[in-house]
Structure 1
Amino acid sequence: MAGLTVHVLDIMNGIPGGGMRIDFLRLDGTDKFHLKTLFTNAEGRTDEPVLTSSDMMSGTFELMFHVKDYFRRGGTDATFFELVPVRFKIVSTHVHHHVPLVVAPWGYQSYMGT
């Protein structure tokens, strides 16, 4: 089923990244349009897809992960990254898109998941 989902994994603590704020934006040239704000649950996923199959649209998007706030709530103040923007393009609206974020206070990795 088509849609867009995310998954945050905290590799510093070896746990899912629960409670992280994610802003979802659509980009059009130099303009950014805020579509929604979500929070990850205890499994590091959002309770609902970022985009459902009926909401899918093509275009360039950005997920803004608020990593500094997440790690600060866990007692880690020394973070190198405050925000992690993951920019990507959706071409086919008929396939599922998944964006995992593996994150620590000093680094991160994201990729096109399944």
Structure 2
Amino acid sequence: MGRLSTHVLDTTHGRPGAGMRFTLFRLAGDARVKLAEGETNEDGRAPGPLLEGDGFQAGRYQLVFQVAAYFRAQGVALPDPPFLDEVTLSFGLGEDRHCHVPLLVSPFGYTTYRGS
């Protein structure tokens, strides 16, 4: 069966994004169904798989990361309003295998990719 995981890298400080809140949604038509929420651990990773086994299904998903709250907690002075408040990654899952979605982020930019 497949598995979905994520982690955050804080590119401003050059370290894992420990303590960043996130929420995973499945998109069903116009609705968003919350599947999981949590906080990254000391390695910047979700504490376990976000989806696995029978919960891993083909479809459209969103991961929402609370970027501004994280950087404020790190002591970074952000403008009001912050340039990046939440980062929403929308992606599709279609294959029955491990999919890893990392977020590399600073207060003013981010990147992601499909990992394995």
TM-score, L = length of structure 2: 0.92
Aligned partner of 2:86 among 78, 83, 88? 83
How large is the Cα RMSD of the aligned pairs? Answer: 1.1
Shift of residue 60 of structure 1?
Answer: 0.3
Distance in 2, Cα, partners of 1:101 & 1:53: 24
Whole-Å Cα distance in 2 between the matches of residues 53 and 107 of structure 1? 33
Q: TM-score, normalised by structure 1?
A: 0.94
Deviation at 1:111, TM superposition (A): 0.8
CA distance in 2, matches of 1:15, 1:60: 30
Where does structure 1 lack aligned partners over 5 or more consecutive residues? none
Report the Cα distance in structure 1 between the residues aligned to 2:97 and 2:48, rounded to whole angstroms: 17
Which aligned segments of 4 or more residues in structure 1 are displaced greater than 3 angstroms? Answer: none
- What are the within-5 Å matches in structure 2 for residues 56-71 of structure 1? 56-71=56-71
Once the two structures are superposed, what CA deviation does each residue of 1:15-44 show, in whole Å capped at 9, x if it has no partner? 000000111001112111111211100000
Q: Mapping of 1:74-113 within 5 angstroms? A: 74-78=74-78, 79-92=82-95, 94-113=96-115
Alignment of 1:41-52 (within 5 A): 41-52=41-52
SS at match of 1:70: helix
The number of residue pairs the alignment matches comes to 113
Counterparts in 2 of 1:10-49, with a 5 A limit?
A: 10-49=10-49
Task: Write the distance in 2 (CA, Å) between the matches of 1:48 and 1:54.
Answer: 16
* Residue segments in structure 2 that go unaligned for 5+ positions in a row: none
What fraction of aligned residue pairs are identical, expressed as a percent?
A: 39
